[in-house]
Amino acid sequence: MKILWFAWLRTRVGAGEEILAKPAEIATVAQLLDWLAARSPGHAQALARRDVVRVAVNQTYVPLDHAIADGDEIAIFPPVTGG
């Protein structure tokens, strides 16, 4: 799966994109965020406040219980501030 980080989540993680193999036990977005948070202190910091984390799978907003697949493009970012 391809993980994309944006804005201040990207700067905390230290990378805009990560290609990772999805562990078999990771089934939902919520489980993925827990798994990612354990990857490094930067990841943990980026994901410390889940209320300000938004997730899009294959470029569509999804809730935390959304099921993920290994081929997904999963973007993780803070609330948007355009316009």
Partner 1 sequence: MAIRVQREAFDFGAELAALTAGRTDIGAVTSFVGLVRDMAGDAAIGAMTLEHYPGMTEKQLAEIDAEANRRWPLQATLIVHRYGRMEPGEPIVLCAAASAHREAAFAACHFLIDWLKTRAPFWKLEDTDAGPQWVSAKASDDEAARRWEQNR
- Contact set for partner 1, span 10-29 (CB under 8 A): none
Three-state SS string over the chain comes to: CEEEECHHHHHHHCCCEEECCCCCCCCEHHHHHHHHHCCCHHHHHHCCCHHHCEEEECCEECCCCCECCCCCEEEEECCCCCC
According to the binding rule CB under 8 A, does residue 63 interact with partner 1? no
Q: What minimum distance in Å lies between the beta carbon of 25 and partner 1?
A: 28
- When the beta carbons of 42 and 78 are compared against partner 1, the nearer one is 78
| Interface residue list for partner 1 (CB under 8 A) | 4, 6-8, 52, 56, 59-61, 75, 77-83
